[in-house]
Amino acid sequence: MKKPSRLPGGKPQGAREVAMSVLHNVEMLGAYSGLELNQALQASELSRPDAALATELVYGTIQRLNTIDHDLKSRVKGWPNKIEPWVRSLLRMSYYQLRWLTRVPAHAAVDEAVRIAKKRGHAGIGGLVNGVLRGLLREGFAAVLPESMPAAERISLTHSHPQWLVERWISEYGESVTEQMCTANNEPPHASARVNRMRASRDQVVAGLTDAGMEAIASPLAREGIIALKAGNLVHSDWYKQGWITVQDESSMLVAAVASPKPGMRVLDCCAAPGGKTTHLAEIMRNEGKIIANDVHPHKEALIKQQAERLGLTSVETMTGDALELPKRIEPQSCDVVLLDAPCSGFGVIRRKPEIKWNKTAEDIESLSRLQSELLSAVQSLVKPGGVLVYSTCTIASEENESTINRFLSQHPDFTLDANWPEEVLTPIRESGKLPETFAGMLQLLPQMFGSDGFFIARLRKQSQ
């Protein structure tokens, strides 16, 4: 079988060609949208407005994929499989732009798409693209879906999520919550960062960003979190370079806070790269004690070390290897806190990585759930009597979350759920009405709750001997 190649026709020029190239490579090569886009933008040297346009075209097109395909199927013979891949990407991107990106004049979008089609292909492809897009402008977009359509199919097409996933969510959360979740997944994520309590206070950083002309507010969810609007990429800011902040989602910040390690403790982060939770643990411990940060990928060890060095944290010790093998490398019952931020399906971060919803399957959820159970069973042996085990994922699949924890508890009766979470974590969740009345020590955050990632966190305690 011939291996798919990158987009033919030379280096992309302009925002739309760059976006088309990224979309092509995400679909045909399985590239990650964020990484592929960053590489393409660096290579293209687009202006800031053009880079913003390319970014919106990429993420918007992937987000709305099956809504777009549903409409184009009735307009383009053989859509989508009989259409050349790069032409698919061009038409999808142009459809998205005409329907949802209304600040760009329609004639400009059509003219540019036809120009790209002729440049990359030939006059016939240019004619196809021109005919399809002008037909859309003339006839309008997809008609209103019939009221008789089943809820899962309607939500799937309205909010562009795979129907199998919508059906799962409806069965678990109900139709209304599922629709809210799908709506939230199509909204752009806001930029957030965690303030390094060893270097500055949150008020200092918010004031500094505000003085620099950026919009910054304190996170209502995470104690050290800030939300930055119109701030650009915070990784390029002086606050980041000087180790005052770490770019991290607000939900993710809660994981180390729930672990609540104390200065002087010995802590293990089993799947640590790129180091966001590891360094947060070290900051909470005021850089006193030891955090062992393990990851299976040797090339990611450097990322953890770089983060710790940038933040001035000397208590972090890195190692590489399969987390299943950690009991062979670390003394049993030697850790006060063990954090397992497990590999997962990632359905809580669709807003940031929209291709996840198209690439993952129900079979992936099942296999990941088995792996997560194996990992928990392996690393629990490293927790001291009376110590804490925290399990987290960035997904909203119950098999990977509540079911995994319940199965673990049935197999390891020396562990119990621990609802004694720090009040700084519980208060904003309780005040927003999102804390279950039956809260026992595990919590599922959904993306529409706080505008942050969907996350699952469970805190377990090992009984004292």
Q: What is the pLDDT of residues 302-337, one digit of tens each?
A: 999 999 999 999 999 999 999 999 999 999 999 999
* pLDDT for 1: 35
> Which of the four CATH numbers 3.40.50.300, 3.30.70.1170, 3.90.1170.50, 3.40.228.10 does domain 191-247 have?
3.30.70.1170
Residue intervals of the chain classified under CATH 3.40.50.150 are 250-462
The pLDDT assigned to 141 comes to 87
pLDDT in tens, 272-290: 999 999 999 999 999 999 9
pLDDT at 400 exceeding the cut of 90:
yes
**Residue list for the binding site for S-adenosyl-L-methionine:** 271-277, 295, 322, 341
Can you tell me the mean pLDDT for 142-166? 90
pLDDT at 4 over 60: no
Query: Mean per-residue pLDDT for 209-229?
Result: 93
Confidence of residue 142 (pLDDT cuts 50, 70, 90): confident
* Residue ranges of the chain assigned to CATH 3.30.70.1170: 191-247
CATH fold label, 250-462: Rossmann fold (3.40.50)
Q: pLDDT value at position 123? A: 85
Give the highest mean pLDDT range of 9-13, 29-33, 392-396.
392-396
For residue 10, what pLDDT is reported? 63
Per-residue CA distances from 408 to 71, 171, 283, 389 (Å): 45, 24, 30, 12
- Mark whether 394 is an active-site residue: yes
So what's the pLDDT on residue 309? Answer: 98
Superfamily of domain 15-139: NusB-like (1.10.940.10)
The tens digit of pLDDT for each residue in 83-109 reads: 999 999 999 999 999 999 988 889 989
pTM: 0.94
Tell me which of 240 and 144 has the higher pLDDT.
240
Q: What is the reported pLDDT for 103?
A: 82
Average pLDDT over residues 377-403: 98
Q: What is the mean pLDDT of residues 351-378?
A: 96
Residue 45 scores a pLDDT above 90: no
Letter string b/e over residues 381-416, b meaning 16 or more CB atoms within 10 A of that residue's CB: bbbbeebbbbbbbbbbbbbbbeebbebbbeebeebe
Give the integer Cα–Cα distance in Å for 61 and 91. 10
Q: Please determine, for residue 202, whether its predicted confidence score (pLDDT) is greater than 80.
A: yes
Q: What is the pLDDT of residue 312?
A: 97
Cα–Cα dist 303/408, whole Å: 31
**Start-end of CATH 1.10.940.10 domains in the chain:** 15-139
